[in-house]
Amino acid sequence: MIVVTGALGFIGSCLISKLNKEGYDDIVAVDDFSKVEKERNLEGKTLKIKVGRKDFISWLEDFNEEVDFIYHIGARTDTTEFDKDIFDELNLEYTKSIWNICSKHNIPLVYASSAATYGLGEFGYEDNHDIVEKLKPLNPYGDSKNDFDIWALKQKDQPPFWAGLKFFNVYGPNEFHKGRMASVIFHTFNQINQNGGMKLFRSHNPKYTDGGQLRDFVYVKDVVNVCMFLKNNTPESGLYNLGTGESRTFLDLARNTFKALDKAENISFIDTPEDIRDKYQYFTEANMTKLLKAGYSDGFHSLEEGVKDYVQNYLAKNEYF
């Protein structure tokens, strides 16, 4: 059996779809199944069993011999939440419990880390283990992810293979439920349909023009391809960046959304909300050398390709992946 935590979520549900397409139907889906707004993310997918998030650790203790691989994608991901105790419980301690069981029973583990661990990029965006303890995340979410990475790297007892994936700005289908935390493409699509225009955050950094803020946007279909590669090839264990290796501006993103909808551009700017302004990243770009050296060769969608596919085949049709 293959376990996917965060099964109702954006990346988790897309990963289950990918696993099904590759012929895997013995999926253990783990999540808080009281979240009815996420139910459509699993419609039409083949699962072996659903296990509640609170019951999963005890379930894994009982059924570990039947588990072949674990994708621990589930996490509290709200970067505007500042209650450290929530992240300590759901991201740090919960993941430690999964790691320890995987180590004891020789179960390979891929877990979700985050590019939020890099903070303002003071030490660059290289998935080098030597810099992990120096990193300065900008919020409790990033702290929780980095705290686990630090802990994992110190463990003598490890799963037979493990990878912590530092997701950059992932976008794509199955994020209808994410609200404020959904991708800018999702918000652009909705704003264009509602009022014909898109409002982007104004730059509050003199080094960047309005809309010129740079991010490494990675399409979720590429993310799940990398997840499959790691399962099938089990390269050297460790932390791996998961972006494209090329940063693009929010203006590029918005303009490509208008283009995918065949609508004239109508872009304006608003101030970045004060609650996130002093924690705002103006540049991220994944160094992808490690993953490429590990043998990953399937490439990545360009921003133009990814936005077109997402908008035309999913958002415009209200379809799920």
Token pair for 294: 């590990």
Given 178, 199, 279, 308, the catalytic residue: 178
Q: Please report, as a single letter, which amino acid is at residue 88.
A: D
59-82 burial, b for 16+ CB within 10 Å, e for fewer?
A: bbeeebeebebbbbbbbebbbeee
Residue 178 per-residue DSSP state: G
Give the position of tokens 């415009």: 316
**Angle, alpha carbons 267-270-271 (nearest 5°):** 150
Given 24, 71, 141, 240, the catalytic residue: 141
Q: How far is CA 92 from CA 52, 57, 72, 147, 180, in A?
A: 18, 14, 12, 7, 24
Rounded to whole angstroms, the Cα distance separating 17 from 49 reads: 15
Contact 45, 38 (CB under 8 A): no
Handedness of CA 241, 243, 245, 251 (dihedral sign): negative
Decide if 141 is catalytic. yes
Select from 130, 126, 99 the least CA-distant residue to 112.
99
- The angle that helices 220-233 and 10-21 make with each other, rounded to 10 degrees, is 60
Select from 121, 84, 144, 113 the least CA-distant residue to 134.
121
Burial class (CB in 10 A: 0-12, 13-18, 19+), 175: buried
Decide if 125 is catalytic. no
Catalytic residue numbers read 141, 178
